[in-house]
Amino acid sequence: ASPAAVLPAAGYDVVYFDAFAPEKQPEMWDESVFRRLFAAMSPDGILTTYCAKGVVRRLLQSIGFTVERLPGPPGGKREILRARKSAAL
């Protein structure tokens, strides 16, 4: 296993999470990865990903993100996910 990345606390306003699909790179979609990202994000920070799978959406919600499905880019994905860390957390 590779060492975990060190992230500063509450410093990221935007995270563009563009890992390969969960089936291709499952270690990148582990709950611990998203918990560390959540902890490192600013209040009202946004995480966006092209992966719109229900399992990923539910995982993000269980960590505390408010998640919404958005239309994907023209000629590409049908949907993407946008997850917001509430300022109240």
- Domain 12-85: which topology? Rossmann fold (3.40.50)
Are the CB atoms for 29 and 56 separated by under 8 Å? yes
Domain boundaries along the sequence of the chain: 12-85
pTM (whole model) above 0.95: no
Phi, psi of 52 (to 5 degrees): -115, 20
Q: What's the confidence (pLDDT) of residue 20?
A: 86
**Average pLDDT for runs of 10 along the chain of length 89:** 62 91 92 93 94 95 97 88 85
CA 74 from centre of chain: 22
In DSSP terms, 17 is beta-bridged to 49
